[in-house]
Amino acid sequence: MLRAWFEIALWKRIILALVLGVIVGSLWGEGAVSIKWIGDLFVRLISMVVVPLIFFTLISGVIAMGDPKKLGSLGLMTLGLYMMTTFFAITIGIVLAVVLQPGAGVDLSSAVPGVVQEAMPLSERLMSIVPRNPMAALAEGNILAIIFFAMLVGIAGLIVGEKAKPVADLVDAASEIMLKITGWVMEVAPFGVFALIAWVSGTQGVLALLDVVRLAAAVFLGCFLHVFLVHGSLMRFVLKLRPVQFFRGARDAMLVGFSTSSSSATMPVTMAVAERNLGIRPVVATTVIPLGATINMDGTALYVGIVSVFAAQAFGIDLAFADYLIVMGATTLVSIGTAAVPGASVFLMAAVMGSIGMSPEQIAVVVGFIIPFDRPLDMARTSVNVAGDLSVATAVANWEKEFDIEVYDGPNRY
């Protein structure tokens, strides 16, 4: 029986866990809280490998480039693609909100105002990239600071050359060890996913979305359209690859992202499937994906755009074309500054809604209205974020000749 379990493709085991989790949680109700610790343990396990995996694989990947100039072209290409996909996500979100009118006729009078936190200023977020103490950054899990320091170490190793070979061999071996540990942790995924989904279904319930069915429909439809139209088109028409192979290879990471609601926690899985399923070589996977987990928030951008228009409609605020442009610009900045943890975007919508003239009291009411059913929507947009990380990494790897087409077209069994 144990052998038969491990012979089943991982994504099938995760799907089974998702379905069973919904059923058990719906039947068990609040009692499902008692098994949440299993899901928390799974999240702790994958969080455990995030920092060492990024640190060692990024240094190894940069040294493997062989030329510091290549890092510059790769970085510019990555940032450009992430900004482009974010723009498309915001556009899709706003168009759907205008067409579906999710906020029209919604009564927010019964909503309990929520606590609104200020979004971190972009200047402060940029300053935090440079760590005061690299060891403290590693201990605190400051991903941007870790990326910055690891890239400096990698570039220095490139310039030093032959003398740095012992260090290069060490970090290369360490990255392989961390990937192996990630593979072991992934075998726990079905049990963690089951517990997390049962907890969400039992305490919040999918039926909670019925209170805001049009808003939920706009978010889920927007997520679907963005993933399959934008990223599918990138594969088919730009890269000349089969989109079905991309989605097949990315599904494990997208499912884990859906269950954890955290791009950061899913990062080890994302990096593993990038190399083993999609043929993205480590030199690209180790640089593009960690960066994407911190600045690429397509799902968040789409969601914040929809909710901002929803709020304006609910309060009867007429938005002109210029207002929509302001929402798009503000959402781009907010999405870049969003922490890759569950529910963070709920508290960062204040900057966007404030940009279209909503009062702090109105913003607090909207946040209080959304919080009770935000978790299912957060799960959907996290899957979009993960798909975006892998899509951009595939494109960059393809253009930088760091792509293995045989792996991409293979059976994609991780």
Would you give per-residue pLDDT tens digits along the chain (414 residues)?
777 887 888 878 888 998 898 899 888 988 989 999 999 998 888 888 888 988 888 888 888 777 777 777 788 899 889 989 988 999 999 999 999 999 887 777 666 665 555 555 556 666 877 899 999 988 888 777 888 898 899 889 888 888 889 998 999 899 889 888 988 888 888 999 899 888 888 886 655 555 578 888 999 999 999 999 999 999 999 999 999 999 999 999 999 999 888 887 888 899 999 999 999 998 888 889 988 887 788 988 899 889 999 999 988 888 888 888 888 887 776 666 555 555 556 656 776 887 788 888 888 888 778 876 777 888 898 999 999 999 999 999 999 999 999 999 987 554
Q: Of 75, 25, 56, 78, give the one whose Cα is nearest residue 167.
A: 56
What single-letter DSSP state applies at residue 8? S
First to last CA, the chain: 20
Got the DSSP string for 64-122?
HH--HHHHHHHHHHHHHHHHHHHHHHHHHHHHHHHHH-TTTT---TTPPPPPPPPPPPH
Give dist(CA 193, CA 159) in Å, integer: 44
Residues shown for the chain: 414
Q: What is the pLDDT of residues 318-361, one digit of tens each?
A: 888 888 888 888 777 666 655 555 555 665 677 688 778 888 88
3-class secondary-structure state, position 310:
helix
pTM of the predicted model over 0.85:
no
Structure tokens at 141: 């899990």
Q: Of 121, 125, 154, give the one whose Cα is nearest residue 142.
A: 125
The answer to whether 69 and 291 have CB atoms below 8 angstroms apart is: no
Structure tokens at 190: 């079905």
Structural domains present in the chain: 2-408 (1.10.3860.10)
